Amino acid sequence: MVIVLFQRLKLVLFIVLVSIFSGCASIDGQQLLEKSETTHLGYQSSSALAKKLAPRHDIGDADTGFYPLSHGHDALLARLALIENAQFSLDVQYYIYRSDETGNLITWRLFEAAERGVRVRLLLDDMQKRNDEHIAHLNAHPNIEIRLFNPHQFRNARITSMATDFERLNRRMHNKSITADSVASIVGGRNVGNEYFSVNTVVDFGDFDMLLYGKAVEETSEQFDEYWNSLYAVPMELIFAGARAVTEEEMNEMAEEYGLHQKFSEGEYDITQLELYQQMSSGHFALFWGQAEVWYDLPQKVEGSSSELVLHLSGALANTQEKVMFVSPYFVPTEYGTQQMVKAVKRGKKITIITNSLASNDVFAVHGWYAKYREDLVRGGVEIWELKDNADLDNQWSITGSSTSSLHAKVIMFDRRKMFVGSMNFDPRSLDLNTEMGVLIHNAEFTDEAVSEIRQYLPEIAYQLQLEDDELVWKDHQNDQTYTQEPNAGLLLRMGAWFAGILPIEHLL
């Protein structure tokens, strides 16, 4: 009771500070505590999505249909398909939601859905700075409601916010999901932004999502409601009061300014030319089937509660009999994690790590701390591969301007039988600070095939870390070359990573 009261007092203080420093009208903090609670509408059997995704054959005891979204263009198309086919509700939850071509395209489609009567709930983490007034105009639409999770109290002075309330603001909602009509969801590692969909970007993020149908969608919707109705999700009208609703004319002007219709209906980003689009349009789109579980942290983790997701994953790892493969862009195992992996290898388990090289990592500080443990891991028998910064990620659009490849997928495969896909990196920030979510898929055939495909392409797209003459080296099997220092990483980048590795910041990474 005392803890709950303290949390509420902190949020009341936040809303008072917002009213003072944001330039908006004064807001009664009690409004935050009395905000309306809404929940998902449940499976809509009359939805067009239900008719398209319902099983067409005997699925046995499987409770979830799923479809992998490994390419950026397919991931964008799938999100648009959910939005454009929604008839009742859309629940959208993201850590990063950029105001670029793909972000504006999705916003435009969400607005169109609201115009035809679909209820849109948009929950965004507040780490990324956005224009409050623009969001408030969208929020003022009668069918759109937007909430910010764990928001900054000084809207135009975020450095001041962090300096005065770092412990709270350092904890973020990293969850990523979109659900339409409580019929279909997309869960995985992608945020909303050009780099996640391989559009007009110098960095091509290799990422992974799952399109879901069935039991896992219900659990994803329950997860969304937990966050939406939590004390930490603040309605946009309390942050920026009195905004008028955005008009259809203004949204069309925005679309015209970015050339959204033309860009994604013809030329290099023509969605209609994608194989997935053809499958969906022809009715030949088929799901894989299996049992599934959606695991997620409770929103109270931002107040220091333990991680429910880590508890689930720890159990899955403990039950692994032979092999586990980790795919994580930001991999900081810590000293304890390193010791546990080496012990597991000594007990006969095979552990494979796939992560970024320094040249492909977009956060060199993370690499600096990862580098402190990788030699001990390799010596202990852990197999490590680092993605090349020029890897061909087999993306139809990747040749249109992307000059650097970077791994962003977060996947764990257990005994080639089960696959976990989600938002969680294998680092202290995901374990202790941010809230995370993901889905565990039980399908041995699919997982085994995925591992085999990864194994096939690893020698082409990644360096294998090995020991030669008792020194760590990077082996490029494709070109039969061996590097004795970080491949394709300049001196300044190597020095930056090294320096970050001696700073006392591991718990923040």
pLDDT 10s digits, 134-179: 999 999 999 999 999 999 988 888 999 899 889 999 999 999 999 9
Coil/strand/helix, residue 325: strand
- For residue 455, pLDDT over 90 is answered with yes
Instruction: Give residue 265's pLDDT.
Output: 85
Q: Say whether 293-508 and 38-282 share the same fold.
A: yes
- For the segment 219-233, the average pLDDT, to the nearest whole number, is 96
Least confident of 222-231, 280-289, 336-345, 463-472: 280-289
CATH number of 38-282: 3.30.870.10
Alpha carbon distance, N-terminus to C-terminus of the chain: 32
Residues labelled catalytic: 174, 176, 181, 408, 410, 415
Domain ranges of the chain: 38-282, 293-508
Q: Binning pLDDT at 50, 70 and 90, where does residue 13 land? A: low
- For residue 433, pLDDT over 60 is answered with yes
- For the segment 265-281, the average pLDDT, to the nearest whole number, is 84
Q: Which residue has the higher pLDDT, 412 or 28?
A: 412
- CATH class belonging to 293-508: alpha beta
Q: Binning pLDDT at 50, 70 and 90, where does residue 15 land? A: low
Residues 6+ positions from 66 with CB-CB distance below 8 Å: 210, 211, 212, 213, 216, 287, 288, 289, 290, 292, 439, 441, 443
User: Which pair of tokens denotes residue 496?
Assistant: 């930056």
**pTM for the complete prediction?**
0.93
Coil/strand/helix, residue 335: helix
- Cβ contact 406:205 at 8 Å: yes
d(CA 69, CA 226): 26
